[in-house]
Amino acid sequence: MPERKVIVESEVGLHARPAATFVQTAAKAPIDVTVAKPGGAPVSAKSILSILALDVKNGEAIVIHAEGDGADQLLDELAAIVSAP
């Protein structure tokens, strides 16, 4: 079960455009993808409302989990989105 712990480095965290890009990338994948704050309940990465409800801020950590074929590549793509300056 691959997962990545990522520090959110975007100035706007997972809000607005980064969140939309994140959800679009996750939604294209035919596999299950979830996101959570460390120790928190995971939410679907394919729902913009779920992602925005996380209220992730710059400098906070999140855990992205994906299960299925291509999970590692997808996790790399999603990690790049949330750690972009």
48 CB burial (10 A radius; 0-12, 13-18, 19+): middle
Please, where are the H alpha helices in the chain? Answer: 16-28, 48-53, 71-82
| Helix and strand numbers, DSSP H then E, in the chain | 3, 4
The position carrying tokens 């100035």 is 11
For the annotated catalytic residues, the residue numbers are 15
